Amino acid sequence: MKKYSREWSVAAAFGLLMLSLLIVAPHFFQWQPLLSRVTSQMPAMVVALGVAMVIISRQIDISIGAQFSMCAVIAGLVAASGLPLGVAILAAIAAGALMGALNGLLVAYLGLPSIVVTLATMVTWQEALRLWQQGRLLNLPEGIQWFGQSQESGQAIVIGATALLLILLAWVMKNIAAGRAIYAVGSDAEAARLAGINPQRTTFGVFVSMGVLAALAAVMNLVQSPQIQPSCGDGMELKAIAAAVVGGIAIRGGRGTLWGVLPGLFLLANVNPALTHFHQPPYWEKAIQGLVIILAVVADGWNQKKQSNNG
Amino acid sequence: MSQPTNQPKWTALLAKHETVLLAVILVEILLFQNLGRNFLAESNVSNIFRHSVEIGLLALVMTPVILTGGIDLSLGSMMGLCAVVFGLLVKQYDVSPWLAAVAAISLGAFGGMGNAFLITRMNLPPLIVTLGTFSLFRGLAEALTKGSEAYSGFPQGFLNLGNANVLGLPAQLWVFFLVTLLVWLLVHRTVWGRSLQAIGFAPQGARYAGISVERNTGMAYILAGAIAGLAAVILVARLGEARANVGIGYELLAITAVVLGGTSIFGGSGSISGTLLGYVAIAILNNGLSRITAHQIFDQPVSSVARELSGMLTGLLLLLALAAGVLLKSLATRRARRQSLVTTTNPTPST
């Protein structure tokens, strides 16, 4: 299992954290609160899957938090106007796909660096949303929360849907031509082009998928509470990128498996609860998140150096 | 220097870019003079610069970083960390504000050194390194202030740096002039500045030409960090308060000013004068919108949503400037190719 050593070591770190929590704070594992905590991480998981694909294609997208907020508000407004939930979900997906397509257009077809493009679209969507909603809380009608089901089945739907997405996307990335093309473009776009892949179309497709996944994540977030905040996606981009990078997605593209995102996210998501349960102040969360990103990237760099020295 | 034949054409193109920017600034001034109150009043003109000089400082030092083909997303967070440490030193340890300012600038340089080490010695991509430190520096600032604490009550002599006039101009503007001169000299009149353009143009080529790519690139990040510390001190002097959320989003404004000013986001070409014009265009946009009282957007008077509106417009402006840069460049290469075709098909001039 040398091939997946990174994924396994992250999973082991997560297991170690859980084990120490089991000893220090066994009440961390009460079933209902645990289930709620897992459910509340599912939207971030879906976003992280998308950004993992973006990073594998050697791009980055930091507008995903803003896309998430925008999709959540659009879905919320459609639902609040009395239309059925299905229409709200479709509206969110359409909005996400459009925002992703704009990023994809600028990055793939104009050849602009994705970091600056998505920095600009991030601010544009964020401020447009603030201008439009003025930070108002949006009340959702009855029958939206947990898809109109009981809390248990609602949680089951959210977790099940995320698991399904993970399995599906990981399978596509491993076995389908479109998925392999993402790896190929991320490793070497010119070689991919010579091999008959259209790198521009692949990159464009990755950004559109990212938008759609952000929309799906926003819907999964929407159904978890009776209200929706226009700032619900703030900071989501860092969390998702950190989860992907910690989970072994190489920041220079072309390497990594979507399965690694799962332990990556769970390790990061439990930093804050762990701090509380070890009776430490919670203000350190952002600093630890930044440190973990840097450590993961440094580890990547070391690995690469070792490989190139051996080869 | 590397391509003497192209020299006049490139300067002509740059000059053109800067004329376009000047025209944009003029249009902004005319627009806001007609729509807003007292836009060109003397007090407001100095206000425009008093309230945005920090963005100008970041833009100045972001220019050499982008010239090398890199980027520094951590500068805004660095301001937050430096501001908090400055406040902590003055209020809790009774350090004199001027000494604490030196400490804040050194801390900025030290943080920049961290970025430089990871980017040049560990050979990691600048974007992800500074994304990490973006989170780390802001997180440290939040941790030091326990999320909400703010330091205020600084001595008046220090607050004058942010609020008083010296020789009829805002005090901090003189600092800005000094830094502008320094950065201009460094970028356009030293070997270091020339080497940055070479590195951004072709890092391998620069290495073969005997340029120390690591050290020269690293210097750009250290300079950026130090000036971010200075910007934090000036911002604290103006606000009279040091808290962890100082400088959020400033890195974007700085990048926008640089790109708007015609510096290529891929590195290799650009100028400090362009960056200055880009900064002035953004500063006027921010201030002008807050003075429009008669118009409404989404049922809100424009002046009350000026912050959101100018944020959104800044984002759009950056996208437009980027797209225009790429399109202009492809036009220029096409023209150059056509000209070279003409010269090769007609090797002997008819005269």
Average of per-residue pLDDT values in chain B? 87
CB contact under 8 A, B318 and A120: yes
Distance from CA of B154 to the nearest CA of A (A): 26
Helix (H, G, I), strand (E, B) or coil at B151: strand
**What is the token pair recorded at A226?**
């009776």
pLDDT (0 to 100) of residue B336: 82
CB contact under 8 A, B252 and A117: no
User: Do B90 and B254 form a contact (C-beta atoms < 8 A)?
Assistant: no
CB contact under 8 A, A120 and B143: no
**Percentage, residues of chain B above pLDDT 90:** 47
Instruction: Please state, in angstroms and rounded to a whole number, the distance separating the CA atoms of residues A4 and A12.
Output: 12
What residues are paired with B301 via a beta bridge? B296
CB contact under 8 A, B137 and A241: no
Rg (alpha carbons) of chain B, rounded to whole number: 22
Using a CB-CB distance cutoff of 8 angstroms, which residues of chain B are in contact with residue A113?
265-266
Residue range(s) defining the domain that contains residue A97: 2-310
* Interface subset of B 142-181, CB within 8 angstroms of A: 142-143, 145-147
Instruction: Tell whether the model's pLDDT for residue B6 goes beyond 80.
Output: no
Residue among A62, A134, A287 minimizing CB distance to B143: A287
Instruction: Please state, in angstroms and rounded to a whole number, the distance separating the CA atoms of residues A51 and A302.
Output: 23
Q: How many residues does chain B have?
A: 351
AA letter at B17 = H
Helix (H, G, I), strand (E, B) or coil at B335: helix
Q: Could you tell me which of A242, A244, A255, A250 has the C-alpha nearest to residue A294?
A: A242
Instruction: Tell whether the model's pLDDT for residue B314 goes beyond 90.
Output: no
Using a CB-CB distance cutoff of 8 angstroms, which residues of chain A are in contact with residue B76?
none
Looking at the structure of chain B, the number of domains it has is 1
Instruction: Tell whether the model's pLDDT for residue A248 goes beyond 50.
Output: yes
pLDDT (0 to 100) of residue A296: 85
Phi, psi of B301 (to 5 degrees): -60, 140
Domain assignment of residue B325, yes or no: yes
pLDDT (0 to 100) of residue B3: 45
Per-residue model confidence as pLDDT tens digits over B13-38? 555 677 778 888 888 888 888 887 77
Domain assignment of residue B55, yes or no: yes
CB contact under 8 A, B132 and A293: yes
pLDDT (0 to 100) of residue A309: 67
Phi, psi of B151 (to 5 degrees): -105, 130
Per-residue model confidence as pLDDT tens digits over A197-222? 999 999 999 999 999 999 999 999 98
DSSP string, B51-110: TTHHHHHHHHHHHHHHHTT---TTHHHHHHHHHHHHHHHHHHH---HHHHHHHHHHHHHH
Phi, psi of B36 (to 5 degrees): -105, 180
CB contact under 8 A, A121 and B315: yes
Using a CB-CB distance cutoff of 8 angstroms, which residues of chain B are in contact with residue A112?
265, 322-323, 326
Helix (H, G, I), strand (E, B) or coil at B301: strand
pLDDT (0 to 100) of residue B351: 44
CATH code of the domain covering residue A217:
1.10.3470
pLDDT (0 to 100) of residue B65: 96
Rounded mean pLDDT, A254-265: 90
What residues are paired with A138 via a beta bridge? A228
Rounded mean pLDDT, A119-132: 89
Rounded mean pLDDT, B342-351: 56
Candidates A293, A298, A303, A307, partner chain B, best to mutate (most B CBs within 10 A): A293
Candidates A124, A271, A288, partner chain B, best to mutate (most B CBs within 10 A): A124
**Percentage, residues of chain A above pLDDT 70:** 97
Rg (alpha carbons) of chain A, rounded to whole number: 19
Residue among A110, A121, A252 minimizing CB distance to B323: A110
pTM: 0.85
Candidates B308, B317, B331, B333, partner chain A, best to mutate (most A CBs within 10 A): B308
Helix (H, G, I), strand (E, B) or coil at B336: helix
Residue range(s) defining the domain that contains residue B241: 7-335
Domain assignment of residue B191, yes or no: yes
* Interface subset of B 301-330, CB within 8 angstroms of A: 305, 308-309, 311-312, 314-316, 318-319, 322-323, 326-327
**What is the token pair recorded at B217?**
């690139």
Query: For B160-253, where are the E strands, in sequence order?
Result: 165-166, 169-170, 241-242
Closest chain A residue to the Cα of B114, Cα to Cα: A294
> Regarding predicted confidence, which is higher, A4 or A96?
A96
Instruction: Tell whether the model's pLDDT for residue B216 goes beyond 60.
Output: yes
Using a CB-CB distance cutoff of 8 angstroms, which residues of chain B are in contact with residue A124?
312, 315-316, 319
Closest chain A residue to the Cα of B122, Cα to Cα: A301
pLDDT (0 to 100) of residue B4: 47
B231 near A CB under 8 A: no
* Interface subset of B 235-294, CB within 8 angstroms of A: 249, 252, 255-256, 259, 265-266
Domain assignment of residue B340, yes or no: no
Per-residue model confidence as pLDDT tens digits over A53-97? 999 999 999 899 999 999 999 999 998 888 888 899 999 999 999
Residue among B123, B135, B259 minimizing CB distance to A286: B135
Q: Could you tell me which of A234, A239, A231 has the C-alpha nearest to residue A73?
A: A231
Instruction: Please state, in angstroms and rounded to a whole number, the distance separating the CA atoms of residues B162 and B236.
Output: 8
Using a CB-CB distance cutoff of 8 angstroms, which residues of chain A are in contact with residue B134?
238, 290
Distance from CA of B310 to the nearest CA of A (A): 8
Distance from CA of B250 to the nearest CA of A (A): 12
CB contact under 8 A, A127 and B309: yes
Domain assignment of residue B346, yes or no: no
B131 near A CB under 8 A: yes
pLDDT (0 to 100) of residue A109: 93
Give the best-scoring range by mean pLDDT among A147-161, A277-291, B81-95, B328-342. B81-95
CATH code of the domain covering residue B44:
1.10.3470
pLDDT (0 to 100) of residue A63: 94
CB contact under 8 A, A115 and B127: yes
Q: Which residues contact B134 (CB under 8 A, 6 or more apart)?
A: A238, A290, B73, B74, B76, B77, B251
Using a CB-CB distance cutoff of 8 angstroms, which residues of chain B are in contact with residue A275?
none
Instruction: Please state, in angstroms and rounded to a whole number, the distance separating the CA atoms of residues B45 and A155.
Output: 57
Distance from CA of B142 to the nearest CA of A (A): 6
Looking at the structure of chain A, the number of domains it has is 1
AA letter at A255 = R
pLDDT (0 to 100) of residue B350: 46
Helix (H, G, I), strand (E, B) or coil at B169: strand
DSSP string, B235-280: HHHHHTEE-TTTTTTHHHHHHHHHHHTT--TTSS---HHHHHHHHH
Instruction: Tell whether the model's pLDDT for residue B2 goes beyond 50.
Output: no
Per-residue model confidence as pLDDT tens digits over B248-289? 889 888 998 998 888 888 888 899 999 999 999 999 988 888
pLDDT (0 to 100) of residue B14: 53
Plot region of A96 (φ>0 → left; ψ -120 to 50 → alpha; else → beta): alpha
Report the range of poorest mean pLDDT among A57-61, A306-310, B180-184.
A306-310
CB contact under 8 A, A60 and B137: no
Candidates B123, B128, B255, partner chain A, best to mutate (most A CBs within 10 A): B128
Instruction: Please state, in angstroms and rounded to a whole number, the distance separating the CA atoms of residues A163 and A166.
Output: 5
User: Do B175 and B234 form a contact (C-beta atoms < 8 A)?
Assistant: yes
Using a CB-CB distance cutoff of 8 angstroms, which residues of chain A are in contact with residue B138?
286-287, 290
